[in-house]
Structure 1
Amino acid sequence: MATGATIHTFTVNLADVDRGVYEELDLRVAQHPSETGAFMLTRVLAYCLEYAEGIAFTDGVSATDLPAVLVRDLTGRILAWVEVGAPDAERLHLGSKQSERTVVYTHRDPAKVAALWNGKRIHRADELVLHSFDPGFIDAAVDVLERRNAMTLTVTERRLFLELNGTTLESDLHEFPRD
């Protein structure tokens, strides 16, 4: 955990109808001093949307050679390399070589994020998945963040229904450039 980090707790009721995942999660998330609320919340959503046995947060922005979230099998093999924000092509190349699947969740403009990778070498670039949310969704959720958070996340037909600390928000889960 980073020195000077702010700890946020999330009690999450997850109902991902699209994947058949129904879980209650208790998450402790360290927000590094240089990490924005939008980045931290996107990490939490990425964790929930990728939830599977073997999932774990890494050291976040402090982890220079690891993504925000990893999914490993029981042997330690990396199944999913989950980046957040606008990772550079070199990180994605590394992640694609080490994992079965590489995915990015961004709170930024996905066209601008994808443009950063144009002409760069990324292993299995055609398999890379970039997800984003409706404009304003993450910012509205950040506005109601607290140190202790009660969250219900329902996903159905790629539509997110988020209740965070009594505020209800909705967003499509976009996949760039396919949407």
Structure 2
Amino acid sequence: MALRATVYKAELHVADNDRAYYGTHAVTVARHPSETDERLMVRLLAYALWVEADERLVFTRGLSDTDEPDLWNLDLTGAVRQWIEVGLPDERRLLKACGRAEQVIVLAYGRSADVWWSGVRGKLERAGNLQVHVLDAEATRDLAALAERTMSLSVNITDRTAWVSCDRGDVSLDVRSLREAA
């Protein structure tokens, strides 16, 4: 018998001072059985970092579907505006995504993120629409401790630092840019 996804509901209060974006979003996220709380919370953080007023940024089937990213923003014609990957994706997957989307964003995390980047960096040089950002491994572990099935998170973003807070505590995460789009 296959394990089923666990549903998480989050109310995100986003105050992004870097982009002058402020909004509240009620989101429902399915956590794949093989997914950790850390990855789930990084996906929620990615949503807060790149959500826009048009609210077309949505969570996809992610780990359940290899042809979709963790999040994407589609225009009214169905074309992919933003393709957002969380974790340490394969360079072939990223190059394919760069051909399909206007903008591809990677939010890398984990102890081996810098090693991953040094291994794929040269292979991704021609991808002009690719951005790569990394989070500190200790901070994402602390972020995972805030996970609850129903949660209300306040995310304040200033100078590429995200402060995430809720009743269970708060975490500060530096979003370090490894590569900006050309």
Is 1:110 the counterpart of 2:119? The answer is no
Tell me, which stretches of 5 or more residues in structure 1 are unaligned? none
Pairwise CA distance, 1:119: 4.9
Pairwise CA distance, 1:166: 3.6
Distance in 1 (CA, whole Å) between partners of 2:41 and 2:84 is 14
Pairwise CA distance, 1:176: 1.4
Distance in 1 (CA, whole Å) between partners of 2:149 and 2:172 is 22
Distance in 1 (CA, whole Å) between partners of 2:146 and 2:41 is 11
Pairwise CA distance, 1:34: 0.7
Distance in 2 (CA, whole Å) between partners of 1:112 and 1:79 is 29
Q: May I ask how many residue pairs the two structures share in their alignment? A: 176
Pairwise CA distance, 1:39: 1.2
Distance in 1 (CA, whole Å) between partners of 2:92 and 2:140 is 26
Equivalent residue runs for 1:4-43 within 5 Å: 4-43=4-43
Helix, strand or coil: the match of 2:175? Answer: strand
Identity rate of aligned residues, in percent? Answer: 30
TM-score (normalizing by structure 2): 0.88
Q: Judging changes above 3 Å, is the alpha-carbon distance between structure 1 residues 117 and 92 closer, same or farther for their aligned structure 2 residues?
A: same
Distance in 2 (CA, whole Å) between partners of 1:100 and 1:124 is 14
Equivalent residue runs for 1:36-55 within 5 Å: 36-52=36-52, 53=54, 54-55=56-57
Pairwise CA distance, 1:144: 2.6
Judge which range, 133-142 or 16-25, deviates more: 133-142
Judge which range, 65-74 or 122-131, deviates more: 122-131
Pairwise CA distance, 1:28: 0.7
Aligned to 1:63: 65
Helix, strand or coil: the match of 2:76? Answer: coil
Distance in 2 (CA, whole Å) between partners of 1:177 and 1:111 is 12
Aligned to 1:145: 147
Pairwise CA distance, 1:47: 1.2
Pairwise CA distance, 1:177: 5.5
Helix, strand or coil: the match of 1:136? Answer: helix
Q: Judging changes above 3 Å, is the alpha-carbon distance between structure 1 residues 144 and 79 closer, same or farther for their aligned structure 2 residues?
A: same
Q: Judging changes above 3 Å, is the alpha-carbon distance between structure 1 residues 46 and 165 closer, same or farther for their aligned structure 2 residues?
A: same
Pairwise CA distance, 1:123: 7.9
Pairwise CA distance, 1:70: 0.5
